[in-house]
Structure 1
Amino acid sequence: MCTTLEHVFERDKAFLERMFDCGVRSAAPGYRLAMTSTLRALVLACSLKPSPQESSSEAIGRDVLGALAEHDVTGELIRVVDHGVSFGVTTDEGEGDGWPPLRQKMLNADILVIATPIWLGQASSVCKMVLERLDAELGETDDEGRKITFGKVAAVAVVGNEDGAHHVTAQCLQALNDVGFSVAANGSTYWVGEAMQAVDYTDHDEKPEKTVQTTEVLAANTAHLARLLKGANYPA
């Protein structure tokens, strides 16, 4: 990629300036603030392994956070399996459910990243549980009747040592869009190892160049779209 991350960020700022100068001022006064404000991201790592075990999902999730930081996005990564999240399709499944605090972090974020491993060609059971919990957002609206996830952007990061990255990405992005998240162009990144081998993403001393490039594109476009939506949310 010949365009540096710094140039991408400057291009985003210039784009918003042009929109502001061309009349967006009256339609969306929040654009000026959105252009300069720091965004917040939440990465939910859907590894089956509890901490402190090594996790490729966590590793690629942290790589996404690092790439987002180049676009003035702060954030945190949470390994879901460490938090006792209950199965269900409501915002709170009652006593002992670890989802409500994670949900609040999601609501406070502008960007949600799902990082999941591939098992048997599928997203992990933890990932599917998270998507099921997000189903509750279909019934949650703001004062203007919009889903409270409108205005937020989702992305997906997938790792595995077999095929299945495109299938898992498609499942996750479709579900996230269904519950109200937007997805930027090339809003996913992945790495899969050679079939029938035992090499993990964490085994690389240097991250694969193509995956690094794809992660950088994900970060640039996701931050760009999140800023646009932060300045002017969807009308309905």
Structure 2
Amino acid sequence: MKALVLNCTLKPSPQESNTEALANIVIKEMERLGVKTTLIRIADRNVMTGIKSASQGDGDGWPAILEELLASDILILASPTWVGTLSSIAMKVLERINGLYSAVNEHGQPVTFNKVAGFVVTGEEDGARHVVTEMASALMDVGFTIAPQSYTYWNNGPGPGKSYLKSDFRKDWSSETGKAAAANIVAVAKALKAHPIPPMK
């Protein structure tokens, strides 16, 4: 079983990513459960803006990422919270995934059927649950299955404050919730692997 984790931080490598740090907890648990995991930082891949999943031109980094996505059973979308919502990079990823809307498999189903999505969100202030809702709705709309309690998040409470890597505020909750999310996501992915959604008759 394979999982793809897309880190939608605005920071290119080698800058430190709080979102990646929290995502690594989910990754570690999925790997413990036997899932092969690939992590991609979108800011390093020159993903062009567009509403199609096909290449948007020379140098577009999305087609290679799409190939990884279609070969995976699980997608974890990880985003920081900026101005109260998901990052512009996370939105760009969702717009490119939305380009799969009309793509179907050999059974006439969306190519994302039987794939399970999960979410990781970080931010210094409130808004994490809003970001989860936005991402879950977008992926569900194109055919992903959303497992119960399939997310974890961390924020530092109201007002400016320390970032995830510089604070110990309730990180234990985020960690345990991340492990539970990983277990739920993997369980649903295994169930769909054994019993895929049947095609319409």
Of 74, 78, 82, 2:40 maps to 78
**SS at structure 2 position matched to 1:49:** coil
Q: Could you tell me whether the CA contact under 8 Å between 1:61 and 1:77 is conserved in 2?
A: no
CA distance in 1, matches of 2:110, 2:18: 32
Larger Rg computed on CA atoms: 1
Q: Which residue of 2 aligns with 1:201?
A: 164
Q: Which residue of 2 aligns with 1:127?
A: 90
What displacement does 1:195 show?
A: 2.3
**SS at structure 2 position matched to 1:76:** strand
Q: TM-score, normalised by structure 2?
A: 0.95
What displacement does 1:204 show?
A: 4.0
Does residue 163 (structure 1) correspond to residue 126 (structure 2)? The answer is yes
CA distance in 2, matches of 1:206, 1:196: 14
Superposed, 1:1-236 pairs within 5 Å as 39-91=1-53, 92-204=55-167, 208-236=171-199
CA distance in 2, matches of 1:133, 1:231: 29
> C-alpha deviations, 1:188-223, integer Å up to 9, x for none?
110001322331111246971111111111011100
The count of aligned residue pairs is 198
- Give the partner amino acid of 2:49: F
- Give the partner amino acid of 1:102: I
CA distance in 2, matches of 1:198, 1:54: 17
CA distance in 2, matches of 1:107, 1:89: 17
**SS at structure 1 position matched to 2:191:** helix
Q: Could you tell me whether the CA contact under 8 Å between 1:65 and 1:74 is conserved in 2?
A: no
Aligned-residue CA RMSD (Å): 1.3
Q: Could you tell me whether the CA contact under 8 Å between 2:25 and 2:179 is conserved in 1?
A: no
In the TM superposition, structure 1's runs of 4+ consecutive aligned residues that sit over 6 Å from their partners are none
CA distance in 2, matches of 1:133, 1:213: 31
What displacement does 1:70 show?
A: 2.2
CA distance in 2, matches of 1:180, 1:138: 8
CA distance in 2, matches of 1:202, 1:74: 25
- Give the partner amino acid of 1:51: S
Ranges in structure 1 where 5+ consecutive residues have no aligned partner: 1-38
Q: Could you tell me whether the CA contact under 8 Å between 1:110 and 1:151 is conserved in 2?
A: yes
% identical aligned pairs: 39
